Amino acid sequence: MSLKIVGISGSHRHESINKKLLDFVSEQVPSHVEYEYVDYSDVPLFNQDQEKPVPESVKAFKEKVESADILLFSTPEYNGSIPGVLKNGIDWLSRPAGQSSIKGKVAGVMGAAPGQGGTLKAQLHLREVLSHMDVDVPGQPRLMCSFAGDKMKDGRFNLEGKDLETTQNLIKRLIEMAEAYKKETVSV
């Protein structure tokens, strides 16, 4: 059964550690699962007056997300919550009304931070937003990458030990959930 993961970073910064975390995780994905990173930095600020017709950049973003069986979010934590750009992207994914590109998806939530918090608050807020939108996010495992700079080598993540095990378990859990959803869909 073929599956596709689409990675979404909560930061548009060129050297984002959360984009780098997605890059690391993409290398852990089994060969039978496709991985694609989606850049949505050209998506405008949400304005309901601009949703008909949907802007081309938003259409492209929605199409990539719709092609996924699994969404994998990696979010920084800004002021105790998710970044505005990530919330904006999610808002566009839910619109126009009745045309959600995200509803019913399986999603993983993770994050990296230079400090001790490991994006705990942002992940909790993101889980709440996704749950409200009928996105299935497993409660465990949770990848909260604290002191991210210490876990990088040559500008790339190098997770080992418990962090690597958590990463692998998260991928495994998401694949199991997506496969179960596909089987349910086929048997209905």
**What tens digit of pLDDT does each residue of 129-141 get?**
999 999 999 999 9
Q: In this predicted structure, what is the pLDDT of residue 161? A: 94
Is pLDDT at 188 greater than 60 in this prediction?
no
Q: Quick one: pLDDT at residue 181?
A: 86
Map out the domains of the chain with their CATH numbers. Answer: 3-187 (3.40.50.360)
Residue type, 86: L
| Tens of pLDDT, residues 22-62 | 999 999 999 999 999 999 999 999 999 998 899 999 999 99
CB-facing half-sphere around the CA of 6: CA atoms within 13 A: 18
Contacts of residue 58, defined as CB under 8 A and 6 or more positions apart, other chains included, come to 43, 44, 51, 92
| pLDDT tens for each residue of 120-171 | 999 999 999 999 999 999 999 999 999 999 999 999 999 999 999 999 999 9
